[in-house]
Amino acid sequence: MLNGLLFQGFCWYLPADSRHWRRLINMAPELKEIGVTGIWLPPAYKGTSVFDTGYSAYDLYDIGEFRQKDTIPTKYGTATELQQLVAVMHESGIRVYADVVLNHKAGADETERFMAVPVDPKDRTVEIGEPREIEGWTKFTFPGRGDKYSQFKWTFEHFAAIDFDQATGQTGVFRIVGENKGFGMAVDPEYGNYDYLMHADIDTSHPDVIRELYNWAEWYLSRFDFDGMRLDAVKHIDEPFMLGFIEEMRKRVKSDIYVVGEYWTADIERMRQYLDNVHYHMQLFDVALHFNFERAANEGSAFDLREVFDNTLVQVNPLNVVTFVDNHDSQPGQALESFVADWFKPLAYALILLRRDGYPCLFYGDYYGIAGGEGLADVLRPLLLARKERAYGPEKDYFFDKNAIAFVREGDLKYPHSGLVCILSTGAENSVYIELGADRFGQTWYDMTGNRSEQLVLDEKGGADFTVNGRTVSVWTEKNC
**Residues identified as active-site:** 232, 262
User: Up-side HSE of residue 283: CA atoms within 13 Å toward CB?
Assistant: 25
Paired strand residues for 127 = 119
Count of helices and strands (H, E) across the chain: 10, 23
Residue 431 falls in which region: left (phi positive, over 0), alpha (psi -120 to 50) or beta: beta
Burial (CB < 10 A; 0-12, 13-18, 19+), residue 272, is: middle
- The closest alpha carbon to 37, from 2, 9, 10, 11, belongs to 2
Radius of gyration of the chain, Cα coordinates, nearest whole angstrom: 24
| 166 Cα distance to chain centroid | 34
> For residues 40 and 454, what is the distance between their CA atoms, to the nearest angstrom?
39
Is the CB of residue 96 less than 8 Å from the CB of residue 39?
yes
The DSSP secondary structure of 182-230, one letter per residue, reads ---SSS--TTS-----SSEEE-TTSHHHHHHHHHHHHHHHHHTT--EEE
Is the CB of residue 140 less than 8 Å from the CB of residue 132?
no
Question: What one-letter code names the amino acid at 410?
Answer: E
Is the CB of residue 137 less than 8 Å from the CB of residue 164?
yes
Is the CB of residue 354 less than 8 Å from the CB of residue 383?
yes
Burial (CB < 10 A; 0-12, 13-18, 19+), residue 76, is: buried
> For residues 431 and 26, what is the distance between their CA atoms, to the nearest angstrom?
41
Q: Is 45 helix (H, G, I), strand (E, B) or coil?
A: coil
Task: Give backbone dihedrals phi and psi of 442, rounded to 5 degrees, phi first.
Answer: 85, -10
Is the CB of residue 184 less than 8 Å from the CB of residue 241?
yes
Q: Is 22 helix (H, G, I), strand (E, B) or coil?
A: helix
> For residues 269 and 259, what is the distance between their CA atoms, to the nearest angstrom?
20
Q: Is 353 helix (H, G, I), strand (E, B) or coil?
A: helix
The DSSP secondary structure of 322-341, one letter per residue, reads EEES--TTTSTTSTT--PPP
